[in-house]
Chains A and B, each alone.
Chain A
Amino acid sequence: MTETSNAEIHIGVSIDGAGRHPGAWREPGADPQRLFTAEHTVDLAQLAERGLLDYVSLDDSFRLQSDRRDHVRGQLDALLTLARVAPQTTSIGLVATVTTTHTEPFHVSKNLATLDFVSLGRAGWLVDVSTTEAEAFHFGRRTVASPADLYAEAGEAIDVVSQLWDSWDDDAVIRDVTTGRYLDRDKLHVTNFEGRFFSVRGPSITPRSPQGQSIVVVDAVNELALDVGIERADVILVHPASITEAAEMRERIGRGLVAAARTPEDVSVLAVIDVQLADSTAAAVAARARLDAWAGPLPGESLEHIGTADALADLLATWAEAGVVDGFHVRPATLPDTLNRFVDDVVPLLQQRGVYRTEYEGTTLRDHFGLERPTSRYATTEHRGSR
């Protein structure tokens, strides 16, 4: 967590579909025919990178989002889409939602490690669960578990994945021609995870990735998710409706981190904010009314800003300077329009106020969050004799 006197904030942005609002795809600038192309997401990620944002994120699930003909339906795999983005960006973090309910942690681990390889250290994992009966029917393996079990399983999945990420020491590949060995197998580790939901032997088939441990993000959509975040996440997304609520939430997370024997400085708390920008407040309100008329209102469980860039910059800086959050997870109502305005208008104002970076200081997502690259929990440093 940053000092209040030097409040440099972190900003991530959701770049799903045509924007957060269900009517956004009908906006003049939306180009809805391109929603399922790589170019659509690449353009948005490059735009966010121009704004020096910490990361872009993509949502994901195993269900069709809506049953309405006037809503966007269809969704590409988030992790693969961000892998497609990686070679066409250089600095911005790539945070993919990967669910834990119907997936195998062994696959999740190697897929995220590979996203980290292809992005040279920019991978993040937004952990989510599958709560619906529809998703359960798509797999046909199990009935819907209780929320408590779904999140307990997600917690275990994070443990398995994290252990597998450490199951190769960084220097495991030795290429020793004299002994004919490609690998020092003492530097690979059988993880032998045994939990309530999984038993996974390991090691991973994929070597340790550039970040060692990719950034784990948990969206605290409920108490159970918040607990998973406190126990295991690097970044926790919270949903306070006011600065007072944000302060209370921070306090609570701080206590939880101490109770979990974690270092509060290692965890960033970002407030989720839905954003709609225009040249004037009246214009923003009018734009929102048009979207609502098209497709119904945006489900509102989060902080929302409908107005000008100036007012948004002021809100973000005020919260940051008060020290109630480490930054924000921005969900633009419309894409690319709202993100364009955010990058062109809001970011410079934050920079002038001294609360936002003017260049990327590192190359990895861990760098952006000021986190060191961890050594593997299993790392063997002593010299091991050759066989």
Chain B
Amino acid sequence: MSDKPRKQVHLAAHFPGVNNTTVWSDPESGSQTDFSSFAHLARTAERGKFDFFFLAEGLRLREHRGQIFDLDVVGRPDSLTVLSALAAVTDRIGLAATLNTTFNEPYELARQFATLDHLSNGRAAWNAVTSPDAFTGENFRRGGFLERSLRYDRAGEFITATRALWDSWADDAVLADAESGVFVDDGSIGTFHHGGDEFAISGEFNVPRSPQGRPVQIQAGDSDGGRELAAQQADVIFSRHSGWDDGRAFFADVKRRLATYGRSPEDLKIVPAAVAFLGDDREDALEKAAHIRRQQVSPQGAIAFLEQVWGRDLSTYDPDGPLPDIDPDISAEITRGRVRHEQDSLSVAEKWRHIAETKHLSIRELIIEVTTRSAFVGSPKEVAHLINDHVQGDAADGYILVPHITPHGLDEFVDKVVPELQDLGVFRTDYEGPTLRDHLGLTRPRSSIAAGVSSRHWSLA
């Protein structure tokens, strides 16, 4: 490591979401919808000189056993609208929204992101995702129109089309010269054409090119195809590989792919989601982590989690008792509207029984055990060193921190860990430029009009 130049750490903040990472039962837990909660977290992240503030999305409320799942936080405002308002109460921090390519249209979405980029002076980012169709589709006029396999084709075409729109105005198209009376010099400004299987659209885009040219593109794909395409097009990958071994493997794999597309390792930042548990020392931090983990997995939540694997009503089981003797119902899918990582439920049950027996765990203790992901645990100084070691060791370029509580969940990290990272010389003490591209060290893309090239079709997988 010592022969390499020291990398700078990138940090981002994730607003606590509608899942069991977020602890709503704590007396310190505030509103999940009031603007003041978003403003506090975004300003705290900006005080900590973070790269960006991140909002997730879900377009239908999760259901479990045929009813709205009521044990986690439910409900949230629209991301782009919140971020536009946050642009008024922050100056530098990037503003990232997750928006789905299945239930939006390129012209509308491109306008919204270009608008956010104008309103924030160049701080917009788009995390492009696809979603399951029929379930969410019931909220939309076109319903469950898309084959599962086609949603990726649509996503790829969608992004290609938005780029054509963002590139349809030259950077200097708006002259607004009152003297000569010329507002735009080019009579064909905004002209675009995209002809594909999913979209056949043409006409004139009506938003001038925004400060960043295009919003920063974030992707979360983890499959081989997804990694390849991120290597080709994305600016940031939001991965779930926050540990040392999995982080290094993912990092090496994705960065290795960049050369094929004429890109250098710096052109794509890998920032896994991560959790930090802080204490006076490691022992204190571990104790606090254990307390928070119990808050995150309530007795009722533990049963519901088990039901997802078992595919059965387990409400009569004692969360402080042993695992069920009966086997999972492999035909059932009882939770809808959340990301699932497909696994054979019989083998999962077998594995969990083994863990529970070996370690003498109750249902709730087991769920805590199996849902614990790698986390940075220790004193602020220790956590700063852990993060830096991971970044210098190429397990990541930085992390998207997921606090467990709204709105004060980042306060301690920003007050105590950020100064330690700054002391290590691996984290900025102030922003160097105004735009998110500046924070991430990314170049501003040239308009394809200026570059004289047409955007190339690609697809996500």
Residues on A facing B (Cβ under 8 Å): 25-28, 30, 32-33, 35-38, 42, 61-65, 67, 69-77, 79-81, 83-88, 102-107, 110-111, 113-115, 117-118, 120, 134-135, 137-141, 168, 172-173, 175, 177, 179-185, 188, 197-207, 294-295
Contact = CB atoms under 8 A, between A and B. Distances in A.
Contact of B39 (A38, A70, A87, A206): A87
B332 interface: no
Interface string B50-91: 000000001111000001101111111110111011011100
A180 B206 CA distance: 49
B118 A114 contact: no
Contacts of A74: 169, 174, 184, 190, 206-208
A51 to B, nearest CB: 21
Contact of A294 (B72, B107, B181, B185): B181
Contacts of A62: 107-108, 111, 206
B85 A84 contact: yes
Contacts, number: 230
Contact of A106 (B87, B139, B169): B139
A234 B345 CA distance: 53
A206 B207 contact: no
B75 A168 contact: yes
Contacts of B370: none
Contacts of A185: 67-68, 70
B422 to A, nearest CB: 29
12 contacts: A36-B208, A77-B111, A80-B84, A84-B119, A140-B201, A180-B298, A183-B75, A184-B70, A185-B68, A188-B74, A199-B138, A200-B138
A289 to B, nearest CB: 16
B144 to A, nearest CB: 11
Interface of B: 24-25, 29, 33-35, 39, 58-61, 67-68, 70-78, 80-82, 84-85, 87-89, 103-105, 107-108, 111-112, 114-116, 118-121, 138-141, 143, 169, 174, 176, 178, 181-185, 187, 189-190, 199-208, 298-301
Nearest to A137: B203
Contact of B76 (A102, A141, A206): A206
A137 B202 contact: yes
Contacts of B35: 86-87, 117-118, 120
A114 B82 contact: yes
Contact of B71 (A27, A106, A181): A181
Nearest to A192: B138
A74 B88 CA distance: 22
A32 B176 contact: yes
Given A70-B182, A120-B35, A188-B61, A25 B176 contact: yes
